[in-house]
């Protein structure tokens, strides 16, 4: 473990755990550690960090579990001899769309934390709702419909807030709780996001919501970066007071509470920089800072996100967020449920469950797959909205067919996923000049080749897949530098010493031409699948 004099701490409170990344001022990694909720805090009874309600739609996490995880992680860091006394600033990442409901005694408890007791003990009865709704919840369909109607329709909501009304977005969760649990709503003094709750623990008072994570609530005016009165009015009464203020993502929001210096050995003057959501922090961690910079994260769900100079909200696809590292810019993001599990489904179906066999069969077909296009919808899809699951295969004439050859299936799943990303990405302004691939599947060079040729742009790979906690550490340094200078400084100044990403593929012009010609036909077939 390196021991440096000036260090910056990034925290990532994700769905499944709490992680820390400690870096020095030259962006060198000093220390990492993580807590897994299921493994390390089994008394909370979560699976994958969550609890699913009897209706199968309501998904929550015990709020107190996140509190307990903070003490556990810091205890581990202290026991490891992590150089906490050298930390100058802390920032963090929180799973987007999760909400924390703090009762009328919470502010007082936060201010008077006692270093002789755990956070869990002191905050156990401070929540008006003990289980936090999270991003996996899909129980607010009625509230989404009502709020869209009140605001003039889905496109009007997107134009105002950056996204149409999504069930997981916090405003719709608030509307549900106000309607179904009015007493709990009345007993709530502050509604925090995960990304404003965790720093509230650190500074000992209510932390503000940053503009980037505030974009994921269907409550904030995406261009003004302020609460939208019309969106608040159709959600619940007295909401401004319960939500608090919105701040720029680089803002220093306070100093670390003495609890942490007395209990764990932090210096008494550590700055806390506004936390943000996990996706904005990933943008920061992957250093996307120019128009045309996009990342494709390949995991259980796939995401495409990148830097935008201007907002182009859409009612049918994607999200627009305030940019966490450039106050005048935006970030766009697409989400796909059918990611790695769908790729594995075709691997098992067409390649004997073996990735080497899959790659061999992929090589037996040419780019464009002889005109064959497949849609493999294992789970209801977000982008585009396809609620009916199933498999649809079309031949070169656009005729539905029952099956492809194994080799055609292998190519169809890769080509279809990236053609969709290209098609829907351009609708929200994501037209890449370079692509940064991350996530588990980014080591698959046969997949990278298809990605590169579909988009027609070079592909690079990130050295770290856990970009949210690294982005939080970068943002801690950035916010600290902004405060020292007395105003915003370009994020690029923080990244001067960052190692360049490794280029792994350049596009083949002929293959890219095939995919460009194919895109319109793909869109037509996709429209048929949506209506199926």
Task: Out of 79-93, 319-333, 464-478, pick the least confident.
Answer: 464-478
Q: Which of 468, 462, 457, 471 is nearest to 442 (CA)?
A: 462
Return phi, psi of residue 339, to 5°: -110, -115
CB 461 within 8 A of CB 438: yes
pTM reported for the whole predicted model: 0.92
Compute the average pLDDT of residues 256-282.
96
Q: What span, in angstroms and rounded, lies between the C-alpha atoms of 166 and 331?
A: 18
Structure tokens given for 200: 């509230």
pLDDT of residue 4: 61
CB 303 within 8 A of CB 336: yes
Instruction: Please tell me which residue, 3 or 385, carries the higher pLDDT value.
Output: 385
Note the pLDDT tens digit of each residue in 411-457: 999 999 999 999 999 999 999 999 999 888 888 999 999 999 999 99
pLDDT of residue 3: 47
Question: Is 2's pLDDT higher than 80?
Answer: no
pLDDT of residue 387: 81
Q: Which of 263, 72, 113, 100 is nearest to 203 (CA)?
A: 113
Q: Which of 69, 49, 46, 162 is nearest to 123 (CA)?
A: 69
pLDDT of residue 186: 98
Compute the average pLDDT of residues 394-408.
97
Question: Is 137's pLDDT higher than 80?
Answer: yes
Q: Percentage of the chain surpassing pLDDT 70?
A: 99
Which residues neighbour 343 within 8 Å (Cβ) at sequence distance 6 or greater?
413, 414, 417, 441, 447
DSSP string, 173-205: HHHHHHHH-HHHHHTEEEEEEHHHHHHHHHHTS
Question: Is 171's pLDDT higher than 60?
Answer: yes
Compute the average pLDDT of residues 473-493.
96
Question: Is 12's pLDDT higher than 70?
Answer: yes
Q: Which of 28, 26, 104, 94 is nearest to 66 (CA)?
A: 94
Compute the average pLDDT of residues 128-138.
94
Average confidence score pLDDT of the chain: 95
Question: Is 466's pLDDT higher than 80?
Answer: no
Q: What span, in angstroms and rounded, lies between the C-alpha atoms of 420 and 418?
A: 5
Q: Which of 70, 63, 18, 71 is nearest to 44 (CA)?
A: 63
Question: Is 14's pLDDT higher than 60?
Answer: yes
Please report the domains of the chain, with CATH numbers, ordered by start residue: 7-280 (3.30.420.40), 340-460+505-531 (3.30.420.40)
Q: Percentage of the chain surpassing pLDDT 90?
A: 91
Question: Is 299's pLDDT higher than 90?
Answer: no
pLDDT of residue 465: 64
């Amino acid at each position: 473990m390196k021991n440096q004099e000036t260090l910056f701490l990034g925290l990532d409170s994700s769905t499944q755990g709490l992680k820390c990344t400690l870096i020095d001022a030259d962006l060198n990694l000093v220390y990492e550690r993580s807590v897994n909720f299921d493994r390390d805090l089994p008394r909370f009874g979560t699976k994958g960090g969550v609890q699913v309600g009897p209706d199968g739609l309501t998904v929550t996490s015990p709020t107190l579990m996140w509190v307990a995880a903070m003490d556990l992680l810091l205890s581990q860091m202290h026991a490891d001899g992590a150089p906490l006394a050298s930390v100058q600033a802390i920032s963090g990442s929180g799973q987007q769309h999760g909400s924390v409901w703090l009762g009328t005694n919470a502010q007082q408890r936060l201010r008077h934390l006692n270093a002789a007791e755990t956070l869990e003990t002191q905050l156990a009865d401070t929540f008006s709702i003990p289980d936090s709704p999270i991003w996996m919840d899909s129980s607010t369909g009625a509230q989404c419909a009502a709020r869209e109607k009140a605001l003039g329709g889905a496109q009007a909501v997107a134009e105002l807030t950056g996204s149409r009304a999504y069930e997981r977005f916090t405003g719709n969760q608030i509307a549900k709780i106000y309607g179904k649990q009015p007493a709990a709503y009345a007993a709530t003094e502050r509604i925090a996001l995960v990304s404003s709750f965790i720093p509230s623990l650190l500074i000992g008072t209510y932390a503000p919501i940053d503009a980037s994570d505030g974009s994921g609530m269907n409550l904030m005016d995406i261009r003004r970066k302020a609460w939208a009165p019309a969106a608040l009015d159709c959600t619940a009464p007295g909401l401004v007071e319960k939500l608090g203020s919105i701040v720029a993502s680089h803002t220093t929001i306070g100093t670390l509470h003495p609890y942490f210096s007395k209990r764990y050995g932090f210096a008494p003057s550590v700055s806390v920089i506004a936390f943000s959501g996990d996706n904005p922090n990933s943008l920061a961690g992957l250093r996307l800072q120019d128009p045309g910079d996009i990342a494709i994260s390949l995991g259980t769900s796939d995401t495409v996100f990148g830097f935008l100079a201007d907002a182009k909200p859409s009612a049918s696809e994607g999200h627009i967020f305030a940019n966490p590292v450039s106050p005048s810019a935006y970030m766009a993001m697409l989400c796909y449920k059918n990611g790695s599990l769908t790729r594995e489904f075709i691997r098992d179906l067409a390649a004997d469950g073996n990735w080497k066999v899959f790659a061999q069969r992929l090589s037996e077909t040419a780019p464009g797959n002889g005109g064959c296009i497949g849609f493999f919808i294992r789970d209801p899809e977000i982008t585009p909205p396809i609620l009916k699951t199933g498999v649809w295969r079309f031949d070169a004439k656009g005729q539905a067919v029952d099956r492809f050859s194994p080799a055609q299936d292998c190519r169809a799943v890769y080509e279809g996923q990236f053609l969709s990303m290209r098609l829907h990405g351009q609708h929200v302004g994501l037209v890449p000049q370079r692509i940064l691939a991350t996530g588990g599947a980014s080591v698959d060079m046969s997949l990278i080749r298809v990605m590169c040729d579909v988009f027609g742009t070079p592909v690079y790979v990130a050295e770290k897949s856990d970009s949210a906690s690294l982005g939080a550490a970068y943002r801690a340094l950035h916010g600290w530098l902004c405060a020292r200078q007395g105003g915003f400084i370009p994020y690029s100044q923080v990244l001067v010493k960052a190692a360049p990403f490794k280029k792994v593929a350049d596009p083949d012009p002929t293959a890219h031409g095939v995919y460009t010609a194919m895109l319109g036909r793909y869109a037509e077939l996709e429209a048929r699948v949506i209506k199926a």
